[in-house]
Amino acid sequence: MTDGVGLRSERGPILLALMLSTFLIAIDATVLSTAVPTIVGEFGGFEQFPWLFSIYTLAQAASVPVFAKLSDIIGRRPVMYAGILLFLIGSVLCATSWSMGALIAFRAVQGLGAGAIMPATMTVAGDIYTVRERAKAQGYLASVWAFSSVAGPTIGGLFSQFASWRWIFWINVPLCLLALWMLWRNYRQPFERHRGRIDYAGAALLTAALVLIVLALLEGGHAWEWLSWQSLTAFGVGALLLVAFALVERRAEDPILAPWVFSSRIVVTTSLAALLVGVVLIGLVSFVPTFLQSTTDAAPLVAGLAVAALTLGWPISASLAGRFYLRIGFRATTLVGSVLVILGAALLVVFALSPSIPLTAVGCFVVGLGLGLVAAPSLIAAQASVGMRRRGVVSGTNMLARSIGSAVGVAVFGAIANALITRGGGADVPSAIQAGSIAVFVGVAGTALVMLVACAFIPPVHIDEPEPEPQADRETVPPDV
């Protein structure tokens, strides 16, 4: 096995396949944003178009823990294959949609595929790279998200303007087939199929609970009022289903989320850090473009480049994080990252008093550097604390926490910003947008302070581990540790 990590190592083709799979789900989260006017012009249903994004996020978040557990039971490869195939089928269905309702339904199929791909890619990276190497591998994967956040809207606009919005989905077909071929040809990671019973009841209860709770967070304050019967019903039934899920899990032979997940200090603290990363990320991605367009008359593309500075800083620091946690440990690395996020958010608050595109980009870049030193090391620390058979659940829990954080962030920051914007005269008044955005930036700084506290409680993790076993055609695995 070659030293280091990169595209030239023998694991390079697997990493390329993981990056391509990640690219599929990352770009489809944003590619529709610039195509919405064209789609609405063909189908109508303007009031329904937010569901094109919500249903994708909802299906993805709700299915992550189920697919993550399955990857620990039946192996990573079947879950990856299933996720890519679901995404492929969903893409074909979306491309052939005949109405807004059909397109929304088929986006849910894509979201289910994304729910399988997202935790599996992180878990496979944890399987094939050592703790010393994973930071650089996570940096490669983070760079895909960075590129997709910029390329997605651009590609969507180009297809909509010069071809057809349906090509947004048709282009996924050869990419999915290529990812499947690359995985089939190169990925033979050793794994023992766990012969436990699949916890169908727990999976159904957890999925239903997450659907209702995330739905309430996504739509509260938008589709309905926070204190409406819809919100109260969704939250209430979701909470009851979570209670029922906890009772079922106590008796399950092989639960979807075993009790050790909630009693493990490192899993709890790193998942909390991931949730707060989701809150910070969605707060800036959602409000920085609107803030700049309203206060500086920046074009949408230019405003988007300021957010791109955040997604540029993230993979840079994530790829370098290994040098930090090998010397100072995981906890100290995440604390440094949290301080950088606080600093970046404070800069955004100060710069927002006299709006400037370059200065806002600087603040976003600093936040991105900080997030890269929190997100990747916290995930790697959690993965390093368990054996291969539990790594899927740990990775899935981390990804689920970040998704829930994004939903919570949208809800909370949206409510705060909308209240201030309404009080200031509405969305057509630049000063009102400025006030709402400053409040969001202050909220991001406050969230980063909570992140700092959460990271302070991450326990020490030993990073002395053997090299991953070489590739093999037969799926076997050493006992869990």
Residue range 135-156, pLDDT digits in tens = 778 778 877 876 776 677 667 7
134/9 same-domain check: yes
On whether both 269 and 410 belong to a single domain, the answer is yes
Percentage above 70 pLDDT, the chain: 87
Residue with the bigger pLDDT between 187 and 464: it is: 187
Each residue's pLDDT tens digit, 195-205: 556 777 888 88
Q: Which of 476, 303, 280, 296 is nearest to 374 (CA)?
A: 280
Tens-digit pLDDT profile for residues 306-339: 777 887 888 888 888 888 888 888 999 999 999 9
Which of 186, 123, 135, 133 is CA-nearest to residue 387?
123
pLDDT at 251: 80
Which of these ranges, 60-74, 265-279, 409-423, 467-481, has the smallest mean pLDDT?
Answer: 467-481
Same domain, 246 and 166: no
Residue 172 has pLDDT above 50, yes or no: yes
Q: Average pLDDT for residues 387-404, to the nearest whole number?
A: 83
Which amino acid makes up residue 46? F
What is the reported pLDDT for 433?
85
Residue 224 DSSP one-character state:
B
| Mean pLDDT for all residues in the chain | 82
Statement: residue 193 has pLDDT above 60: no
Q: What is the mean pLDDT of residues 396-415?
A: 83
Task: Tell whether 450 and 369 lie within a shared domain.
Answer: yes
- On whether the CB atoms of residues 246 and 282 are closer than 8 A, the answer is no
pLDDT at 467: 45
Residue 138 lies in a domain: yes
Tokens found for residue 102: 């059909």
Distances (CA, A) of 95 to 99, 158, 331, 418: 11, 16, 45, 35
User: Considering the entire predicted model, what is its pTM?
Assistant: 0.81
**pLDDT for 340:** 96
Task: Say if 351 falls within a structural domain.
Answer: yes
CA proximity to 279, closest of 375, 418, 137: 375
Q: Picking from 169-178, 252-261, 316-325, which range would have the lowest pLDDT averaged per residue?
A: 252-261
Q: What's the token pair of residue 72?
A: 């620990």
Please report which confidence band the pLDDT of residue 388 belongs to, taking 50, 70 and 90 as the band edges.
confident
- 22-26, 344-348, 394-398, 399-403 — which one is most confidently predicted on average? 344-348
| 431 vs 437: CA distance, rounded Å | 10
How much is the CA Rg of the chain, to the nearest whole Å?
21
Query: Do 320 and 387 sit in the same domain of this protein?
Result: yes
Any domain includes 259: no
Number of domains within the chain: 3
What is the per-residue pLDDT across 279-307, written as a single tens digit (0 to 9) for each? 898 888 778 877 887 888 877 667 777 77
What confidence score (pLDDT) does residue 383 get? Answer: 85
Residue 363's φ and ψ, nearest 5 degrees, are -60, -40
pLDDT for the residue 4: 52
User: Which one-letter amino acid corresponds to residue 464?
Assistant: D
Whole-number pLDDT of residue 473: 37
Comparison of pLDDT for 99 and 471, the residue scoring more? 99
Q: What is the pLDDT of residues 61-96, one digit of tens each?
A: 888 888 888 888 888 888 999 999 999 999 999 999
What integer pLDDT is reported at residue 70 of this predicted model? 84
pLDDT at 477 over 50: no
Q: Is residue 229's pLDDT more than 90?
A: no
Which pLDDT does position 2 carry in this prediction? 42
Give the mean model confidence (pLDDT) for residues 214-238: 81
Q: Nearest-CA neighbor of 87 among 169, 144, 18?
A: 169
295-298 long-range CB contacts below 8 Å, 24 or more apart? Answer: 295/355, 295/430, 295/433, 295/434, 295/437, 296/355, 296/356, 296/357, 298/357
Looking at the fold, whether 434 and 293 belong to one and the same domain comes out as yes
Name which of 50-64, 186-200, 272-286, 426-440 the model is least confident about: 186-200
Give tens-digit pLDDT for 6-58.
544 567 788 888 888 888 888 887 777 667 777 877 887 766 667 777 788 88
Residues 268 and 249 placed together within one structural domain of the fold: no
Among residues 172, 189, 206, which one ends one of the domains?
A: 189
65 assigned to some structural domain: yes
375 domain-assigned? yes
Answer yes or no: is pLDDT of 480 > 60: no
Residue 181 within any structural domain of the chain: yes
Domain boundary among 253, 282, 298: 253
Q: What is the pLDDT of residue 231?
A: 86
Predicted pLDDT of residue 195: 57
Residue 477 resides in a domain: no
In this prediction, residue 464 carries a pLDDT of: 54
Asked if residue 243 and residue 327 are part of one domain, the reply reads: no
pLDDT computed for residue 129 by the predictor: 81
Angle at 100 between CA 98 and CA 105, to 5 degrees: 90
Domain residues for the domain of 291 are 264-472
Q: CATH no. for residue 2?
A: 1.20.1250.20
| Per-residue model confidence (pLDDT) at position 476 | 38
Q: Are residues 168 and 220 in the same domain?
A: no
Sign of the Cα torsion 332, 334, 340, 341 reads negative
Helix (H, G, I), strand (E, B) or coil at 269: helix
How far is Cα 68 from Cα 45, in angstroms, rounded to an integer?
35
* pLDDT of 378 over the 60 cut: yes
**Do 481 and 387 touch, CB atoms closer than 8 A?**
yes
Average pLDDT score over residue span 418-428: 81
The pLDDT value given to residue 118:
86
Asked whether residue 116 carries a pLDDT value surpassing 50, the answer given is: yes
Instruction: Indicate whether 480 belongs to any domain.
Output: no
> What mean pLDDT comes out for the span 256-276?
87
Write down the pLDDT at residue 469: 46
Q: Residue 420: pLDDT above 90?
A: no
Residue partners of 105: CB distance under 8 A and separation at least 6: 55
253, 274, 297 — which closes off a domain?
253
Domain identity same for 8 and 89:
yes
In this predicted structure, the answer to whether residue 59 has a pLDDT above a threshold of 70 is: yes
Q: Are residues 356 and 403 in the same domain?
A: yes
Residue 59 sits in the same domain as residue 149: yes
